[in-house]
Structure 1
């Protein structure tokens, strides 16, 4: 507590230097740095430092980890390498073209780190991503649950705001739990001012303890409905999503009264792809079989791999602008509107609020129905 008080006093005097950052460990593409650091040539420098950066990751995280500005790209690389390995995509470039059109960069997190309200640990990001890649394999039950996550994943972002403090994103809170008012729902690019709940960082939680999706429950899962750690469900027990089921079991939540069950191997009987053991399998004609990639014959969308369409009786990647997106609802460029891929709307163009922000090039359709630069929530 005394140290905390000293830090507040130092900041009030304009001499606060966050020891979590070293010289050349944070980039400043936006021109701003965390409090106490100075932006010089795109890199945040410690007070008085003007010579060349000597760290191996100048402008990154300084420790061989993943620079924050590269985290989305690193996640995309890991996701697509895994998808190709499991037979869900033809190649990494095709996968990245599709997912890259769907993923929104972490601009709020970058702004919060640059503002000093969030501390980013690039070494933990790399550790988290490496662990997830190693643990996922191609087993559907692992992919459908949160068990591939490593403890490092909850330590990638370190919040600086305490219980009761204002927050715009969860990462600003020490607890990484930001409660928003009922009148404002974050998403679609909108910023909401919430309140940090709790002062305990994310981490292992025991059965019966309160939890959020960022926590790891020892011997169980975080119940989305109660916010409490619950024991894994066994085979034959009713389930709503895969994370509820014990290791090795899957939940077919597309059917009513779904239960945790043993996954079905290739060529085994199925009623849904959700029960197929292998990620690359889909339920085709009542059996788990490898999903079709580009050029494979198909009679319906369900016979093709995820994020592929059945076009003219052949599986195909999502269409570009001008092509069909009927059924799939996803495009490799632009966005899907009334069954056709169309160009995204530029700033100041009219947008339909009910369709969300995917239609805007900026990823933000404001409440007045106009595409505008996305507000920075930090």
Structure 2
């Protein structure tokens, strides 16, 4: 028995120690099984970063050099399945660069459309003034026709008085004579002597800067895109600034217009970004890249919203810290008629309008709004749009416009 004790005692001691260790091992096993699958990125220990911001592997005594860890992680990546990472530009249409139509060709097309769409002046007035007898009733109808054509009260009275006098002196009234009279008087009202050229010439080391403004829904962004095509057709180097930061996809829409003619666009990726900042960066880029023209698209705003109009004024002031604003073009929808005059007056007071872009002129059989706006503001209509096509914007020509009105 005494001989066996030295053998049994170590075995019993080992069993006692093992029995004491079993609960500890079981607890440790449970902890491993229940360990969270995702780590807390905010916990410095879990993120591999010390509380003070120092990477743990860079601290003295840290386990494992960073290079060795990178090698191991790279090996792990090789064993994983390939995952497609979404691209910020995925799904965007790749638009081929187009060659815009020459400006001269556009004028002919626009005149054809105007001839088809405008009948008030041509058919209505010519029929009235070619009547065998022109009495007060006829003149009343002439006046009413002109007012319905959005000519405005003052221009209407001016035109009627001039026609009365000339018809009285002329005596006979063949259709050819009446048409010639009407053309001469309308041309005076439209005023071919007004300077309708766009100020888009570089001055020294600064590009020409064009701001495009207007109320919501008149087609400002589209107008900027179409005007870019006009300028590219005239061999101008153009850059666009997407300062409409509030309308969803406005910047992308403008960039697509630019892409179609190879024109870059400066825009912010942040919705609701400060439009003045975007405009500033666009002009700065235009100066750095030595472009000819920088065009700034602005957000639509109601003319009776003081805060929004003040913001528009701020955009112009910020731009002028870098370069002069050579053109401020107000885009008006021709179908809004006399309401467009109210818009024009307010915008002119805030940002000093230099020219009018009249869109959707093919959607109205009137056309007199051209005269009314110019008479009211003393600002020329410089561009007209007669359709939704990419090249349906052209410089306004007074004689072509009047000839089209009279068919």
TM-score bracket, shorter-length normalisation: under 0.3
Higher RCO (C-alpha 8 Å, min separation 6)? 2
Which of 1 and 2 has greater Rg?
A: 2
Give the TM-score, by structure 2 length: 0.20
TM-score, structure 1 length as denominator?
Answer: 0.21
Instruction: Return the structure number with greater strand share.
Output: 1
